[in-house]
Structure 1
Amino acid sequence: MRSRSRRSVLAALAAGGGLGIAGCLGSDEAVSILAAGSLAVLVDDHLGARFESETGIACRGEYYGTNAVMRMVTDGRKYPDVVVSADAGLLRDRLYDSHTAWDISFASNVVGIAYAPDTRFGERLEAGDPWYEVAREADPGALAISDPDLDPLGYRAIHAFRLAEREHELDGFAETVTDAAYQEPEEPQLLAGVETGNRAAAVVYRNMATDHGLPFQPFPEAYDFSDPDYADRYAEVSYTTDEGYTATGRPTVYNATVLESADSPDAGREFVRFLANADETLRENGFETDGFPSTHGDVPAEVTDG
């Protein structure tokens, strides 16, 4: 597959000085987006209104765990214009050939723990106790993770537990903490239990803690899935979902594409182009943008060439 450097992509995205096709789209145009749950606040509260103001195109977003998003598309239950994934490899594995032939990667993220500071779990973290000791000694259900069969954040939590077990020589740690954790099936609701007091903490991406105003302790780089230099280390662990997809540990990379079946493909391509240019907003909301955007596959000229 063809790949392009950050410099060449940015130059192409900036060509023409602005958004390229807004003038030929009516004010009643809308783009439907099916996206990872960790992007709900970003799109609904930060990017959507700005996109509509600049282009006249309204955003219509739905948000689920990325595994669930892929199933909805491949099973024919949802027909969005744009799909946005929290795992670039998962999108390519599931949608290439039959639904799309390209994507643009636009951000990365850090995995760690968001917590309620007025709980025993939070107090121990703030006192400097190692997170793995706090998690191992917490009451069952105190720590929440996303459902690993529906969401990359869920299997990244399990990946992190397994890598931590090796890193810190903690026999049985991953199984103990996984079994004790509450598994939330709706990723956008993962922090609701922390906010209401039903959970003490949750394994989340940094931007999710930022979205909810909660303190966040990142995992060490050796298992926070943010650093490409640790790609080989991340790849030492894997998780197989209930439908048989084996997700090997890898850096967190968000990517987006427009489906070949899109009802509004022009609007979809315009949104992907906008998202790839949104690095300042992404950084302000807890994402990593160094090294992005980058292209993969046969990206349409309308997305990259103005």
Structure 2
Amino acid sequence: MSRLFTIAVAFSFLSLLLTACGIGGKKDTTNTLRIIHAGSLTLPVHELAQAFKAENPGVEILTEAWGSKAGARRVIDINTPADVFMSADYMVIENMLIPDHAGWYIPFATNELAIVYTPRSRYAREIDTDNWMDILMRKDVKYGRSNPDMDPCGVRSVFTIKLAEKKYGKEGFANALLSKDRDNIRPKETDLIALLESHHIDYIFLYRSVAVQHGLEYLQLPDSLNLGNFALNDWYGKVSMETLGAKPGETITEVGEAMVYGLTIPFKSENTELAEAFIAFVLHPDKGQAILSRLGQEPVTDFQNPYGDKLPESLR
């Protein structure tokens, strides 16, 4: 292989990388859509993007996956171009983006929390809904969760652990488990999958949809713990925690509730027309919602949106 050819390939790769990162200089954004999304939406967003592009030839979609809170900070602090922001928790939009960086949100999917493992995980043949608390506390077992200050799944993991303590009357369990294996905390929940598959850890708190998408084993938790049942919001609301807010030094109190994913168009969007078209596709029952359902995330059916009158006309 010639040196000139090697240089050309390297330059082409660098150009592609810069374009994908949104830092390759000015370009025509007419047919380009930039999406920042939750890590748990990586596969769904890929399939949504492919289906949307099939209906809209010539459209280019660039995506970034982050913990939802970290993604919001990309919009706030780093001025990352984003036409659509898709969060694993609508409250990230409420608490961090509204009113300075966005004016509304739309709920678009649900989920539930599970304990995910592989056949090689210690005690994989034993774990069940009656003994998982004891198994995770064993000294020879390692578990992982995501960072609550960066990722809603991390917050929800804490809520599930606290709810388990309340439900089963095991005083001190939550503090004990949350103090264990802290070196296995990662920025977003999907970062934990590699640790699990490499057998570095045995169990992770993860969304059921992600486990299904990756073909992983999982323990389905009861509705009282999985944060997936809207009828149990009063029960979920008995637990809370403090996390970092949108501004330096600011903290917010997050309260347990059933999972609701939300999306919005940030004020910094450079292509609101295409963003609205993509969101309409996501919300369409026979298009985006069908894709999400197939990938383990059902539509939101029981939610009062306080921003209904602030939505773009095309999305009302």
The residue that corresponds to 2:99 in the other structure is 97
2:269 to 262, 272, 276: 262
How far is the alpha carbon of 1:179 from its aligned partner? 1.4
The residue that corresponds to 1:274 in the other structure is 281
Residues 36-87 of structure 1 show CA distances to partners (whole Å, capped at 9, x for unaligned) of 110011112x211111111232221101111111222222442211111111
Taking the aligned partners of 1:93 and 1:38, their CA distance within structure 2 comes to 20
State the secondary structure of the residue aligned to 1:79. Answer: coil
How far is the alpha carbon of 1:111 from its aligned partner? 0.4
Residue 245 of structure 1 pairs with residue 255 of structure 2: no
Percent same amino acid at aligned positions? 27
Residue 136 of structure 1 pairs with residue 143 of structure 2: no
Alignment of 1:1-306 (within 5 A): 29-44=31-46, 46-56=47-57, 57-125=59-127, 130-139=131-140, 142-181=142-181, 182-243=184-245, 244-277=251-284, 278-289=288-299, 291=301, 296-297=306-307, 298-304=310-316
Taking the aligned partners of 1:89 and 1:204, their CA distance within structure 2 comes to 19
Amino acid paired to 1:269 = E
Q: Is the 1:104–1:272 Cα contact (8 Å) retained in structure 2?
A: no
Residues 216-262 of structure 1 show CA distances to partners (whole Å, capped at 9, x for unaligned) of 11221112111111111111111112451221111110111111220
Taking the aligned partners of 2:272 and 2:244, their CA distance within structure 1 comes to 33
Structure 1 unmatched runs, 5+ = 1-25
TM value normalised by structure 2: 0.82
Taking the aligned partners of 1:69 and 1:266, their CA distance within structure 2 comes to 22
Taking the aligned partners of 1:28 and 1:95, their CA distance within structure 2 comes to 25
Structure 2 unmatched runs, 5+ = 1-27, 246-250
Q: Is the 1:122–1:201 Cα contact (8 Å) retained in structure 2?
A: no
Amino acid paired to 1:146 = S
Amino acid paired to 1:281 = I
Q: 1:262 to 1:232 in 2, by over 3 A?
A: same
Residues 86-135 of structure 1 show CA distances to partners (whole Å, capped at 9, x for unaligned) of 11122112212212222211111010111112222322226x65211211
